[in-house]
Amino acid sequence: MYGGPIRVEGGIRARSQRGSIGSTWWSRRFIDILERVCDKGRLSRGRAYARRGQVLSIELSPGEVRAAVQGSRRDPYEVVIRIEAYAESRWAIIEESIARQAVYRAKLLAGEMPPEIEELFAALGIDLFPRDLDMDCSCPDWGFPCKHLSAVLYLLAESFDDDPFLVLAWRGRTREQLLGSLADVAGGHPTRVEDVPFADRLADFYAPGATAHRPERRPTTDAPDLLLRVFPPPGDLARALTPAYQELSGP
């Protein structure tokens, strides 16, 4: 007889305890795909698992997410979710297309995902968000996806809220790689951005017993620095133009 999952102390718990999960357009886009193709009953139970903190760990790498979920049995279930990670040749085309759009570059440098970027991917004949997910869980549930997979998918969507670059990292491009390449394509120097491992971001993003209150947003890039990165001047003019950029961005 089913007695419910074994209670977990210190698991990864969704911040959203009621209503929908996901607040930004990119996380909602991911959730909409799931809710359109997956069994609603198991998705509902997956949300309950995510909110109870039944997910023990999540590791994201190019093309793959691995997680452990505590169910009703003693040993946690192993979850794997795979999508296509794009090759270097394809990313070179993507980055060149993004670099042509100054507004896209500016938003990405500020830590935002421009809504138009999905259309840019589509125009190149590729998907930003996966249409199909290759998913496996070690549980005996015949449903697809099972509640354990669903819980991990919902937590992924919530993590996309504060770090849209995880969507791109899953496709094979880290934040540091993308922004560095965009600076190169635009004719500037590679942008130095700290590439924090997903596991470390997740540790900061979630906390045991987390509430629906959202953590403080990371500060966006200072305006003068952003101008220099989006419109890099040639040669050694950056040092000379910095005071002018600062004056333009002042009150």
- Average pLDDT on 13-37 reads 82
* Whether residue 229 is found in the same domain as residue 124: no
* Whether residue 166 is found in the same domain as residue 234: no
> Cα 248 vs. chain centroid, distance in angstroms?
33
- On the question of pLDDT at 12 being above 60, the answer is yes
* Whether residue 87 is found in the same domain as residue 55: yes
> Cα 3 vs. chain centroid, distance in angstroms?
34
Could you tell me which residues are beta bridge partners of residue 78? 68
* 19, part of any domain: no
Could you read off the pLDDT of 169-195 as tens digits, one per residue? 999 999 999 988 887 766 554 444 444
* Whether residue 200 is found in the same domain as residue 228: no
Rounded to an integer, what distance in angstroms lies between the CA atom of residue 146 and that of residue 103? 40
Could you read off the pLDDT of 40-93 as tens digits, one per residue? 878 889 999 999 999 999 999 999 999 999 999 999 999 999 999 999 999 999
Structural domain for 84, as ranges: 25-219
Q: Could you give the number of structural domains in the chain? A: 2
Question: How many residues does the structure list for the chain?
Answer: 251
Closest CA to 183 of 63, 93, 96, 86: 96
